[in-house]
Amino acid sequence: MSEGGGDGEVVPPAALDGSGEPSGETSGGTSGGTPGGTDPEPDPGDDAVRAAVRVRLLEAAPEAVRARVAELVAVAVGNLPVTELPPPVRPVARFAPAKRARVGAGPLLGALGTSGGFAAQVVGWWAEERPGDWQPPVPDPVHAAAVAVLEGREEGSGLVRDVGERADAGRARAERDAAVARAERLEAEVDRLTAERDAARAAVDAAAEEGREEVAKLRARLRDQGVRVRRAEDEAAALRAAAEAGDGGLRAELEELRRDRDRQRELAAAADDRARRAADDLASARRASVEARRADDARLALLVDTVAGAAEGLRQELGLRRVDAGVRPAELVGAGSAASPKARVTDPAALDRLLALPEVHLVVDGYNVTKTGWPELPLATQRERLVAALAPLTARTGAETTLVFDGAGVTGVPTHSLRGVRVLFSDPGVLADDLIRSLVGAEPEGRPLVVVTSDRAVVESVRRAGAHPVPSSVLLTRLSRI
Protein backbone atom coordinates (compact mmCIF):
# COMPACT_ATOMS: atom_id res chain seq x y z
CA MET A 1 0.00 0.00 0.00
CA SER A 2 1.32 3.44 -0.91
CA GLU A 3 1.13 6.40 1.35
CA GLY A 4 1.64 9.35 -1.00
CA GLY A 5 -0.81 12.10 -1.98
CA GLY A 6 -2.70 12.44 -5.25
CA ASP A 7 -5.34 10.26 -6.87
CA GLY A 8 -3.78 6.90 -5.84
CA GLU A 9 -3.41 7.55 -2.11
CA VAL A 10 -4.91 5.07 0.38
CA VAL A 11 -7.16 6.34 3.12
CA PRO A 12 -5.77 5.49 6.55
CA PRO A 13 -7.86 2.90 8.42
CA ALA A 14 -8.54 5.33 11.23
CA ALA A 15 -10.38 7.53 8.72
CA LEU A 16 -12.98 4.86 7.89
CA ASP A 17 -16.48 5.32 9.29
CA GLY A 18 -18.89 2.43 10.11
CA SER A 19 -19.71 1.83 6.40
CA GLY A 20 -16.09 1.41 5.28
CA GLU A 21 -16.09 4.82 3.42
CA PRO A 22 -13.56 7.57 4.05
CA SER A 23 -14.58 10.27 6.49
CA GLY A 24 -14.35 13.93 5.74
CA GLU A 25 -10.87 14.31 7.19
CA THR A 26 -8.83 12.90 4.28
CA SER A 27 -5.88 14.58 2.62
CA GLY A 28 -5.30 15.33 -1.02
CA GLY A 29 -5.55 19.10 -1.15
CA THR A 30 -8.90 19.46 0.65
CA SER A 31 -9.61 20.70 4.15
CA GLY A 32 -7.73 18.87 6.91
CA GLY A 33 -4.44 18.53 4.93
CA THR A 34 -1.24 20.32 5.75
CA PRO A 35 0.36 22.88 3.45
CA GLY A 36 2.08 21.34 0.47
CA GLY A 37 -0.44 18.43 0.15
CA THR A 38 1.20 16.18 2.79
CA ASP A 39 -0.94 14.05 5.16
CA PRO A 40 -1.17 15.06 8.81
CA GLU A 41 0.66 12.88 11.26
CA PRO A 42 -1.68 10.22 12.87
CA ASP A 43 -2.72 10.96 16.39
CA PRO A 44 -1.07 8.41 18.71
CA GLY A 45 -3.70 9.07 21.34
CA ASP A 46 -6.53 8.17 18.90
CA ASP A 47 -4.76 4.90 18.03
CA ALA A 48 -4.44 4.03 21.73
CA VAL A 49 -8.13 4.77 22.31
CA ARG A 50 -9.15 2.50 19.44
CA ALA A 51 -6.84 -0.24 20.76
CA ALA A 52 -8.44 0.05 24.21
CA VAL A 53 -11.91 -0.16 22.64
CA ARG A 54 -10.86 -3.28 20.69
CA VAL A 55 -9.60 -4.97 23.84
CA ARG A 56 -12.80 -4.18 25.71
CA LEU A 57 -15.01 -5.37 22.84
CA LEU A 58 -13.02 -8.59 22.40
CA GLU A 59 -13.32 -9.37 26.11
CA ALA A 60 -17.12 -8.92 25.97
CA ALA A 61 -17.62 -10.58 22.57
CA PRO A 62 -19.16 -14.07 22.32
CA GLU A 63 -17.16 -16.86 20.73
CA ALA A 64 -18.84 -16.45 17.31
CA VAL A 65 -17.70 -12.80 17.05
CA ARG A 66 -14.14 -13.63 18.23
CA ALA A 67 -13.93 -16.44 15.66
CA ARG A 68 -15.13 -14.10 12.89
CA VAL A 69 -12.57 -11.44 13.91
CA ALA A 70 -9.83 -14.11 13.80
CA GLU A 71 -10.95 -15.17 10.31
CA LEU A 72 -10.88 -11.59 8.98
CA VAL A 73 -7.44 -10.96 10.50
CA ALA A 74 -6.13 -14.32 9.21
CA VAL A 75 -7.16 -13.50 5.62
CA ALA A 76 -5.49 -10.08 5.76
CA VAL A 77 -2.33 -11.45 7.43
CA GLY A 78 -1.88 -13.92 4.58
CA ASN A 79 -1.75 -11.01 2.10
CA LEU A 80 0.37 -8.48 4.05
CA PRO A 81 4.18 -8.36 3.94
CA VAL A 82 5.60 -10.42 6.80
CA THR A 83 8.06 -7.65 7.69
CA GLU A 84 5.18 -5.24 8.42
CA LEU A 85 3.48 -7.63 10.84
CA PRO A 86 4.02 -7.64 14.63
CA PRO A 87 6.60 -10.25 15.72
CA PRO A 88 4.02 -12.50 17.49
CA VAL A 89 1.93 -12.65 14.29
CA ARG A 90 4.71 -13.48 11.83
CA PRO A 91 4.85 -17.23 12.62
CA VAL A 92 1.05 -17.43 12.22
CA ALA A 93 1.28 -15.84 8.73
CA ARG A 94 3.21 -18.89 7.54
CA PHE A 95 0.36 -21.28 8.45
CA ALA A 96 -2.00 -22.68 5.83
CA PRO A 97 -5.12 -20.51 5.29
CA ALA A 98 -7.43 -23.10 6.88
CA LYS A 99 -5.16 -23.46 9.92
CA ARG A 100 -4.29 -19.80 10.40
CA ALA A 101 -7.57 -18.65 12.02
CA ARG A 102 -8.12 -21.83 14.01
CA VAL A 103 -4.67 -22.38 15.52
CA GLY A 104 -3.30 -18.84 15.51
CA ALA A 105 -6.39 -17.09 16.89
CA GLY A 106 -4.62 -16.24 20.16
CA PRO A 107 -1.68 -14.28 18.70
CA LEU A 108 -3.93 -12.65 16.08
CA LEU A 109 -6.47 -11.38 18.60
CA GLY A 110 -3.75 -10.41 21.07
CA ALA A 111 -2.02 -8.23 18.46
CA LEU A 112 -5.25 -6.25 17.92
CA GLY A 113 -4.99 -4.82 21.45
CA THR A 114 -1.70 -3.05 20.67
CA SER A 115 -1.51 0.51 19.43
CA GLY A 116 1.15 -0.23 16.78
CA GLY A 117 -1.20 0.06 13.81
CA PHE A 118 -1.69 -3.70 13.17
CA ALA A 119 -5.49 -3.41 13.28
CA ALA A 120 -5.34 -0.42 10.93
CA GLN A 121 -3.30 -2.52 8.46
CA VAL A 122 -5.96 -5.24 8.54
CA VAL A 123 -8.84 -2.78 8.09
CA GLY A 124 -7.00 -0.96 5.33
CA TRP A 125 -6.28 -4.15 3.41
CA TRP A 126 -9.93 -5.25 3.52
CA ALA A 127 -11.24 -1.80 2.54
CA GLU A 128 -8.82 -1.61 -0.39
CA GLU A 129 -8.68 -5.19 -1.68
CA ARG A 130 -12.10 -6.67 -0.87
CA PRO A 131 -14.55 -3.89 0.02
CA GLY A 132 -17.57 -5.98 -1.01
CA ASP A 133 -16.70 -8.71 1.52
CA TRP A 134 -15.80 -6.10 4.16
CA GLN A 135 -19.22 -4.43 3.91
CA PRO A 136 -21.50 -7.09 2.31
CA PRO A 137 -24.90 -5.98 0.95
CA VAL A 138 -26.75 -8.56 3.07
CA PRO A 139 -26.27 -7.62 6.75
CA ASP A 140 -24.85 -10.29 9.05
CA PRO A 141 -24.94 -9.46 12.80
CA VAL A 142 -21.79 -11.50 13.56
CA HIS A 143 -19.84 -9.97 10.65
CA ALA A 144 -21.01 -6.44 11.52
CA ALA A 145 -19.92 -6.92 15.14
CA ALA A 146 -16.52 -8.27 14.02
CA VAL A 147 -15.99 -5.26 11.71
CA ALA A 148 -16.89 -2.88 14.55
CA VAL A 149 -14.36 -4.62 16.84
CA LEU A 150 -11.57 -4.34 14.24
CA GLU A 151 -12.33 -0.69 13.56
CA GLY A 152 -12.43 0.00 17.32
CA ARG A 153 -15.80 1.75 17.17
CA GLU A 154 -17.75 2.41 20.35
CA GLU A 155 -21.04 1.46 18.71
CA GLY A 156 -19.59 -2.05 18.41
CA SER A 157 -20.67 -2.63 22.04
CA GLY A 158 -24.31 -2.75 20.95
CA LEU A 159 -23.57 -5.08 18.05
CA VAL A 160 -21.55 -7.43 20.28
CA ARG A 161 -24.29 -7.36 22.90
CA ASP A 162 -26.95 -8.18 20.27
CA VAL A 163 -24.98 -11.23 19.08
CA GLY A 164 -24.55 -12.41 22.68
CA GLU A 165 -28.25 -11.96 23.38
CA ARG A 166 -29.10 -14.00 20.28
CA ALA A 167 -26.85 -16.81 21.50
CA ASP A 168 -28.41 -16.63 25.00
CA ALA A 169 -31.89 -16.79 23.46
CA GLY A 170 -30.89 -19.91 21.52
CA ARG A 171 -29.64 -21.58 24.68
CA ALA A 172 -32.85 -20.59 26.51
CA ARG A 173 -34.94 -22.16 23.76
CA ALA A 174 -32.88 -25.36 23.97
CA GLU A 175 -33.38 -25.48 27.76
CA ARG A 176 -37.11 -24.90 27.30
CA ASP A 177 -37.36 -27.76 24.79
CA ALA A 178 -35.47 -30.06 27.18
CA ALA A 179 -37.87 -29.16 30.02
CA VAL A 180 -40.90 -29.86 27.81
CA ALA A 181 -39.40 -33.24 26.88
CA ARG A 182 -38.94 -34.04 30.59
CA ALA A 183 -42.57 -33.13 31.27
CA GLU A 184 -43.72 -35.40 28.44
CA ARG A 185 -41.65 -38.27 29.83
CA LEU A 186 -43.25 -37.75 33.26
CA GLU A 187 -46.72 -37.81 31.68
CA ALA A 188 -45.85 -41.10 29.99
CA GLU A 189 -44.71 -42.47 33.38
CA VAL A 190 -48.05 -41.41 34.90
CA ASP A 191 -49.90 -43.28 32.16
CA ARG A 192 -47.77 -46.37 32.71
CA LEU A 193 -48.39 -46.37 36.50
CA THR A 194 -52.12 -45.88 35.92
CA ALA A 195 -52.19 -48.90 33.61
CA GLU A 196 -50.30 -50.99 36.21
CA ARG A 197 -52.75 -49.93 38.92
CA ASP A 198 -55.75 -50.87 36.74
CA ALA A 199 -54.18 -54.27 36.01
CA ALA A 200 -53.63 -54.88 39.76
CA ARG A 201 -57.26 -53.94 40.45
CA ALA A 202 -58.46 -56.38 37.82
CA ALA A 203 -56.35 -59.17 39.34
CA VAL A 204 -57.73 -58.48 42.85
CA ASP A 205 -61.30 -58.40 41.55
CA ALA A 206 -60.72 -61.73 39.78
CA ALA A 207 -59.39 -63.28 43.01
CA ALA A 208 -62.37 -61.94 44.95
CA GLU A 209 -64.79 -63.43 42.40
CA GLU A 210 -63.07 -66.82 42.69
CA GLY A 211 -63.38 -66.61 46.50
CA ARG A 212 -67.08 -65.82 46.27
CA GLU A 213 -67.67 -68.81 43.99
CA GLU A 214 -65.83 -71.11 46.43
CA VAL A 215 -67.90 -69.82 49.36
CA ALA A 216 -71.09 -70.40 47.37
CA LYS A 217 -70.05 -74.00 46.68
CA LEU A 218 -69.25 -74.61 50.38
CA ARG A 219 -72.58 -73.13 51.47
CA ALA A 220 -74.42 -75.39 49.02
CA ARG A 221 -72.64 -78.42 50.44
CA LEU A 222 -73.44 -77.23 53.97
CA ARG A 223 -77.12 -76.95 53.11
CA ASP A 224 -77.04 -80.49 51.69
CA GLN A 225 -75.39 -81.78 54.86
CA GLY A 226 -78.04 -80.03 56.93
CA VAL A 227 -80.79 -81.72 54.97
CA ARG A 228 -79.15 -85.07 55.54
CA VAL A 229 -78.73 -84.38 59.25
CA ARG A 230 -82.38 -83.40 59.59
CA ARG A 231 -83.38 -86.53 57.73
CA ALA A 232 -81.24 -88.66 60.05
CA GLU A 233 -82.75 -86.96 63.09
CA ASP A 234 -86.20 -87.68 61.78
CA GLU A 235 -85.29 -91.30 61.25
CA ALA A 236 -83.84 -91.47 64.78
CA ALA A 237 -87.02 -90.04 66.20
CA ALA A 238 -88.98 -92.64 64.39
CA LEU A 239 -86.71 -95.35 65.74
CA ARG A 240 -87.08 -93.99 69.24
CA ALA A 241 -90.83 -94.16 68.88
CA ALA A 242 -90.61 -97.72 67.66
CA ALA A 243 -88.30 -98.59 70.55
CA GLU A 244 -90.69 -97.07 73.04
CA ALA A 245 -93.37 -99.25 71.52
CA GLY A 246 -91.33 -102.23 72.57
CA ASP A 247 -89.49 -103.00 69.35
CA GLY A 248 -86.08 -103.71 70.92
CA GLY A 249 -84.63 -104.84 67.59
CA LEU A 250 -84.58 -101.32 66.41
CA ARG A 251 -82.23 -100.03 69.13
CA ALA A 252 -79.10 -101.22 67.36
CA GLU A 253 -80.24 -99.55 64.15
CA LEU A 254 -81.02 -96.43 66.09
CA GLU A 255 -77.55 -96.42 67.57
CA GLU A 256 -76.08 -96.76 64.09
CA LEU A 257 -78.15 -93.88 62.87
CA ARG A 258 -76.93 -91.80 65.77
CA ARG A 259 -73.34 -92.54 64.87
CA ASP A 260 -74.08 -91.64 61.30
CA ARG A 261 -75.66 -88.44 62.54
CA ASP A 262 -72.52 -87.61 64.52
CA ARG A 263 -70.39 -88.20 61.48
CA GLN A 264 -72.62 -85.93 59.45
CA ARG A 265 -72.35 -83.27 62.11
CA GLU A 266 -68.55 -83.53 62.07
CA LEU A 267 -68.61 -83.17 58.31
CA ALA A 268 -70.89 -80.17 58.64
CA ALA A 269 -68.57 -78.62 61.24
CA ALA A 270 -65.57 -79.19 58.95
CA ALA A 271 -67.47 -77.63 56.06
CA ASP A 272 -68.39 -74.67 58.22
CA ASP A 273 -64.75 -74.28 59.26
CA ARG A 274 -63.69 -74.29 55.60
CA ALA A 275 -66.35 -71.71 54.84
CA ARG A 276 -65.05 -69.49 57.63
CA ARG A 277 -61.49 -69.81 56.33
CA ALA A 278 -62.63 -68.94 52.80
CA ALA A 279 -64.47 -65.91 54.18
CA ASP A 280 -61.31 -64.87 56.07
CA ASP A 281 -59.24 -65.29 52.89
CA LEU A 282 -61.73 -63.18 50.97
CA ALA A 283 -61.59 -60.47 53.63
CA SER A 284 -57.77 -60.55 53.54
CA ALA A 285 -57.81 -60.26 49.76
CA ARG A 286 -60.15 -57.30 49.98
CA ARG A 287 -57.93 -55.60 52.57
CA ALA A 288 -54.86 -56.21 50.38
CA SER A 289 -56.71 -54.79 47.39
CA VAL A 290 -57.68 -51.69 49.35
CA GLU A 291 -54.11 -51.23 50.65
CA ALA A 292 -52.63 -51.74 47.19
CA ARG A 293 -55.10 -49.26 45.72
CA ARG A 294 -54.28 -46.73 48.43
CA ALA A 295 -50.52 -47.18 47.80
CA ASP A 296 -51.02 -46.80 44.04
CA ASP A 297 -53.21 -43.74 44.57
CA ALA A 298 -50.58 -42.20 46.88
CA ARG A 299 -47.78 -42.85 44.34
CA LEU A 300 -49.91 -41.53 41.49
CA ALA A 301 -50.92 -38.44 43.47
CA LEU A 302 -47.29 -37.73 44.39
CA LEU A 303 -46.20 -38.14 40.75
CA VAL A 304 -49.05 -35.93 39.52
CA ASP A 305 -48.14 -33.26 42.09
CA THR A 306 -44.50 -33.47 40.99
CA VAL A 307 -45.43 -33.11 37.32
CA ALA A 308 -47.82 -30.26 38.08
CA GLY A 309 -45.19 -28.46 40.17
CA ALA A 310 -42.54 -28.88 37.49
CA ALA A 311 -44.91 -27.70 34.76
CA GLU A 312 -46.05 -24.69 36.80
CA GLY A 313 -42.46 -23.75 37.63
CA LEU A 314 -41.50 -24.05 33.96
CA ARG A 315 -44.52 -21.96 32.92
CA GLN A 316 -43.56 -19.22 35.42
CA GLU A 317 -39.89 -19.34 34.43
CA LEU A 318 -40.61 -19.04 30.69
CA GLY A 319 -43.55 -16.67 31.14
CA LEU A 320 -45.89 -18.91 29.13
CA ARG A 321 -49.53 -17.99 28.96
CA ARG A 322 -52.17 -20.57 29.83
CA VAL A 323 -53.97 -22.24 26.94
CA ASP A 324 -57.45 -23.73 26.68
CA ALA A 325 -58.15 -26.89 28.70
CA GLY A 326 -58.66 -28.91 25.51
CA VAL A 327 -55.16 -28.14 24.21
CA ARG A 328 -52.64 -30.72 25.47
CA PRO A 329 -49.25 -32.06 24.31
CA ALA A 330 -48.90 -35.67 23.19
CA GLU A 331 -50.44 -38.11 25.63
CA LEU A 332 -47.96 -40.93 24.96
CA VAL A 333 -44.21 -40.93 24.36
CA GLY A 334 -42.59 -44.25 23.46
CA ALA A 335 -40.01 -45.42 25.98
CA GLY A 336 -36.55 -45.42 24.37
CA SER A 337 -34.03 -48.21 24.71
CA ALA A 338 -30.26 -48.03 24.41
CA ALA A 339 -29.13 -48.93 20.88
CA SER A 340 -26.85 -51.95 20.66
CA PRO A 341 -23.52 -51.36 18.83
CA LYS A 342 -23.70 -52.37 15.19
CA ALA A 343 -21.22 -54.71 13.51
CA ARG A 344 -18.74 -53.10 11.14
CA VAL A 345 -19.42 -53.64 7.42
CA THR A 346 -16.44 -55.11 5.56
CA ASP A 347 -17.67 -55.87 2.00
CA PRO A 348 -19.79 -54.16 -0.71
CA ALA A 349 -22.44 -56.87 -0.60
CA ALA A 350 -23.16 -56.13 3.06
CA LEU A 351 -23.31 -52.42 2.19
CA ASP A 352 -25.90 -53.16 -0.53
CA ARG A 353 -28.01 -55.08 1.99
CA LEU A 354 -27.95 -52.12 4.36
CA LEU A 355 -28.85 -49.63 1.61
CA ALA A 356 -31.83 -51.83 0.69
CA LEU A 357 -33.38 -51.28 4.14
CA PRO A 358 -36.46 -48.99 4.12
CA GLU A 359 -35.85 -45.33 5.11
CA VAL A 360 -32.07 -45.89 5.42
CA HIS A 361 -29.90 -42.76 5.85
CA LEU A 362 -26.37 -42.86 4.33
CA VAL A 363 -23.93 -40.36 5.92
CA VAL A 364 -20.52 -40.03 4.19
CA ASP A 365 -17.34 -38.48 5.68
CA GLY A 366 -16.43 -36.67 2.45
CA TYR A 367 -12.71 -35.93 2.73
CA ASN A 368 -12.05 -39.26 4.47
CA VAL A 369 -13.39 -41.03 1.35
CA THR A 370 -11.87 -38.71 -1.30
CA LYS A 371 -8.41 -38.65 0.26
CA THR A 372 -8.53 -42.46 0.36
CA GLY A 373 -9.59 -42.78 -3.29
CA TRP A 374 -8.18 -39.69 -5.10
CA PRO A 375 -5.57 -37.99 -2.88
CA GLU A 376 -3.74 -36.49 -5.85
CA LEU A 377 -6.71 -34.32 -6.96
CA PRO A 378 -7.47 -30.79 -5.65
CA LEU A 379 -10.07 -30.67 -2.87
CA ALA A 380 -12.73 -29.02 -5.06
CA THR A 381 -12.28 -31.71 -7.74
CA GLN A 382 -12.43 -34.42 -5.05
CA ARG A 383 -15.77 -33.06 -3.83
CA GLU A 384 -17.25 -32.89 -7.34
CA ARG A 385 -16.10 -36.40 -8.19
CA LEU A 386 -17.58 -37.90 -5.01
CA VAL A 387 -20.95 -36.16 -5.56
CA ALA A 388 -21.03 -37.42 -9.16
CA ALA A 389 -20.23 -40.98 -7.99
CA LEU A 390 -22.84 -40.99 -5.19
CA ALA A 391 -25.70 -39.62 -7.31
CA PRO A 392 -26.36 -42.91 -9.27
CA LEU A 393 -26.10 -44.99 -6.07
CA THR A 394 -28.62 -42.69 -4.35
CA ALA A 395 -31.00 -42.84 -7.32
CA ARG A 396 -30.75 -46.63 -7.51
CA THR A 397 -31.21 -47.42 -3.79
CA GLY A 398 -33.52 -44.54 -2.83
CA ALA A 399 -31.47 -43.98 0.34
CA GLU A 400 -31.31 -40.53 1.90
CA THR A 401 -27.67 -39.49 1.34
CA THR A 402 -25.83 -36.77 3.27
CA LEU A 403 -22.24 -35.86 2.30
CA VAL A 404 -20.27 -34.01 5.04
CA PHE A 405 -17.11 -31.96 4.40
CA ASP A 406 -14.91 -29.92 6.71
CA GLY A 407 -15.89 -26.29 6.07
CA ALA A 408 -12.64 -24.71 7.29
CA GLY A 409 -11.13 -22.48 4.59
CA VAL A 410 -14.00 -23.09 2.13
CA THR A 411 -16.10 -20.12 0.96
CA GLY A 412 -19.09 -19.90 -1.37
CA VAL A 413 -20.04 -23.54 -0.83
CA PRO A 414 -23.52 -24.85 -1.73
CA THR A 415 -25.84 -25.77 1.16
CA HIS A 416 -28.49 -27.64 -0.87
CA SER A 417 -28.78 -31.05 -2.48
CA LEU A 418 -26.74 -31.77 -5.60
CA ARG A 419 -28.10 -34.55 -7.86
CA GLY A 420 -30.13 -35.93 -4.96
CA VAL A 421 -27.12 -35.84 -2.54
CA ARG A 422 -27.31 -33.44 0.42
CA VAL A 423 -23.94 -31.64 0.81
CA LEU A 424 -23.10 -30.13 4.22
CA PHE A 425 -20.02 -28.17 5.33
CA SER A 426 -19.17 -27.77 8.99
CA ASP A 427 -19.19 -24.27 10.48
CA PRO A 428 -15.87 -22.49 11.05
CA GLY A 429 -14.16 -23.96 14.07
CA VAL A 430 -16.33 -27.13 13.94
CA LEU A 431 -14.91 -30.42 12.64
CA ALA A 432 -16.80 -32.53 10.11
CA ASP A 433 -16.53 -35.43 12.62
CA ASP A 434 -18.63 -33.49 15.16
CA LEU A 435 -21.19 -32.63 12.45
CA ILE A 436 -21.48 -36.35 11.60
CA ARG A 437 -22.06 -37.20 15.28
CA SER A 438 -24.76 -34.50 15.43
CA LEU A 439 -26.48 -35.96 12.35
CA VAL A 440 -26.49 -39.46 13.89
CA GLY A 441 -27.74 -38.14 17.24
CA ALA A 442 -30.58 -36.22 15.54
CA GLU A 443 -32.08 -39.34 13.94
CA PRO A 444 -34.89 -41.23 15.76
CA GLU A 445 -34.00 -44.55 17.37
CA GLY A 446 -34.77 -47.50 15.12
CA ARG A 447 -34.02 -45.81 11.80
CA PRO A 448 -31.26 -47.57 9.82
CA LEU A 449 -28.12 -45.37 9.73
CA VAL A 450 -24.99 -46.11 7.65
CA VAL A 451 -21.88 -43.94 8.29
CA VAL A 452 -18.97 -44.24 5.82
CA THR A 453 -15.64 -43.30 7.43
CA SER A 454 -12.32 -44.85 8.40
CA ASP A 455 -11.76 -42.49 11.34
CA ARG A 456 -11.58 -44.75 14.42
CA ALA A 457 -12.98 -42.16 16.83
CA VAL A 458 -15.98 -41.50 14.60
CA VAL A 459 -16.50 -45.25 14.01
CA GLU A 460 -16.65 -46.01 17.74
CA SER A 461 -18.97 -43.11 18.57
CA VAL A 462 -21.48 -43.84 15.78
CA ARG A 463 -21.45 -47.57 16.60
CA ARG A 464 -22.40 -46.79 20.19
CA ALA A 465 -25.20 -44.55 18.83
CA GLY A 466 -26.66 -47.45 16.81
CA ALA A 467 -25.27 -46.68 13.32
CA HIS A 468 -23.55 -49.13 10.94
CA PRO A 469 -19.92 -48.02 10.26
CA VAL A 470 -18.57 -48.70 6.78
CA PRO A 471 -14.86 -48.22 5.83
CA SER A 472 -14.18 -45.72 3.06
CA SER A 473 -12.52 -48.43 0.94
CA VAL A 474 -15.76 -50.49 0.89
CA LEU A 475 -17.77 -47.54 -0.47
CA LEU A 476 -15.09 -46.82 -3.08
CA THR A 477 -15.20 -50.47 -4.21
CA ARG A 478 -18.98 -50.28 -4.47
CA LEU A 479 -18.87 -47.01 -6.46
CA SER A 480 -16.36 -48.47 -8.91
CA ARG A 481 -19.00 -51.02 -10.01
CA ILE A 482 -21.56 -48.36 -11.04
**Tens digits of residue pLDDT in 59-71:** 778 888 888 888 8
Residue 331 inside a domain? The answer is no
Q: Judge if 251 and 303 occupy the same domain.
A: yes
With respect to residue 340, please indicate whether it lies within any of the assigned structural domains: no
CATH code, domain with 284: 1.10.287.1490
Query: For the chain, what is the domain count?
Result: 3
- 223 and 149 both lie in a single domain: no
Residue 472 scores a pLDDT above 80: yes
- 144 shares its domain with 35: yes
Is there a domain that residue 139 lies in?
Answer: yes
What is residue 168's predicted lDDT score, i.e. its pLDDT?
A: 67
Same domain, yes or no: 302 and 219:
yes
Q: Are residues 184 and 150 in the same domain?
A: no
Q: SS in 3 state form for 69-106? A: HHHHHHHHHCCCCHHHCCCCCHHHHCCCHHHHHHHCHH
Q: Tell whether pTM > 0.85.
A: no
Contact 444, 436 (CB under 8 A): no
Average pLDDT, whole number, for the chain? 77
Give 191-213 pLDDT, tens digit per residue.
888 888 888 888 888 888 888 88
Specify the CATH number for the domain of residue 411.
3.40.50.1010
Residue 412 lies in domain: 348-479
pLDDT 10s digits, 98-141:
788 888 788 888 878 775 688 888 888 888 888 777 777 767 88
C-alpha distances (whole Å) from 78 to each of 3, 82, 119, 186, 189 are 21, 9, 14, 56, 59
Residue 416 pLDDT: 52
161 within a domain of the structure (yes/no): no
Q: Does residue 163 register a pLDDT over 70?
A: yes
Half-sphere exposure of 37 (CA within 13 A, CB side): 8
- Judge if 18 and 148 occupy the same domain: yes
Amino acid identity of residue 178, one-letter, is A
Would 335 be classed as within a structural domain? Answer: no
- Among 113, 138, 154, where does a domain finish? 154
Of the three residues 279, 300, 318, the one that is the final residue of a domain is 318
Give whole-number Cα distances, 172 to 176, 207, 389, 427, 438, in Å: 6, 53, 42, 21, 20
Integer distance in angstroms from the first to the last C-alpha of the chain? 54
Q: Does residue 394 lie within any of the structural domains?
A: yes
Rounded CA-CA distance 59/53 in Å is: 10
Helix (H) or strand (E) holding 48: helix 44-60
Q: 72 and 146 share a domain?
A: yes
Q: Are residues 130 and 204 in the same domain?
A: no
The CA–CA distances, whole Å, from 289 to 72, 203, 278, 299, 303 equal 74, 9, 16, 15, 21
Calpha distance 74→140 (Å, rounded): 19
Alpha-carbon distance of 113 to 283, in angstroms, equals: 86
Same domain, yes or no, for 311 and 352? no
User: Is residue 400 situated within a structural domain?
Assistant: yes
Residue 21 near residue 129, CB atoms below 8 Å: no
- Beta-bridged to residue 418, according to DSSP, are 421
Q: Are residues 309 and 249 in the same domain?
A: yes
45-49, 75-79, 139-143, 219-223: range with lowest mean pLDDT: 45-49
Q: Does residue 74 sit within a domain?
A: yes
Residue 471 Cα distances to 339, 383, 450, 451, 476, angstroms = 21, 18, 11, 9, 9
Q: Are residues 460 and 390 located together in one domain of the fold?
A: yes
Q: What are the two backbone dihedrals, phi and then psi, of residue 67, each rounded to the nearest 5 degrees?
A: -65, -40
Do 268 and 364 lie in one domain? The reply is no
Q: What is the pLDDT of residue 316?
A: 63
